[in-house]
Amino acid sequence: MELEKIILRPVAMVRNGRSAPGDYGWKDTVSTIQLVSPFRSDALTGIEDFSHVEILFHFHLLSPDKEVYSSRYPRDNPDFPLLGIFAQRGAARPNRIGATVCRLISRKEDSIIVSGLDAVDGTPVLDIKPVFLAFLPEEEPGEPGWVSRLMKGYF
């Protein structure tokens, strides 16, 4: 059964001066997330009361023909286990949607300033969500040991 297509429109655009994706050094990247029309500055009212936001964005630089629908090695590196695409967070996933929890630095009219967003300049933002503690797991999340090797230096 094939489902109907879903059409999304960006709510904002990332501005940060980083022109190329990469696997390292995102922790200190400061980004401005600028709302786009028809969204007005009051769409951000109250967001400054939160310490973190979750940014959902589109990996727009990755061609749709590069999407993976089965398994692959993370970062195409056979030193890591062969995993299903839904057991990893790479960009080459169906729909090319990224999600990152970022520290909210400030709000300025119709934009927010965040740190730690792993998206390049010009990336379309699909949604901005405040981080609610109630949505985080009560117990500490667990992960396999290879993840810390994969993510070393990323943030």
CA atoms of 23 and 155, how far apart (whole Å): 9
Q: Model confidence over 86-104: pLDDT tens digits?
A: 999 999 999 999 999 999 9
The CA distance from 123 to 131, in Å, is 21
For residues 68 and 51, what is the distance between their CA atoms, to the nearest angstrom?
A: 34
The answer to whether position 7 is within a domain reads no
The three-class DSSP label of residue 155 is coil
Is residue 1, in this structure, part of any structural domain at all? no
Task: Say what the pTM is.
Answer: 0.92
Q: Quote the domain boundaries for residue 117.
A: 12-132+142-151
**CA separation for the pair 36, 10 (Å, rounded):** 8
What's 38's domain CATH number? 2.40.30.70
Does residue 45 lie in a domain region? yes
Number of domain units in the chain? 1
What angle is formed at CA 119 by the lines to CA 88 and CA 72, rounded to 5 degrees? 25
Distance CA 18, CA 35 (A): 19
Per residue in 98-149, pLDDT (tens digit) is 999 999 999 999 999 999 999 999 999 999 999 999 999 999 999 999 999 9
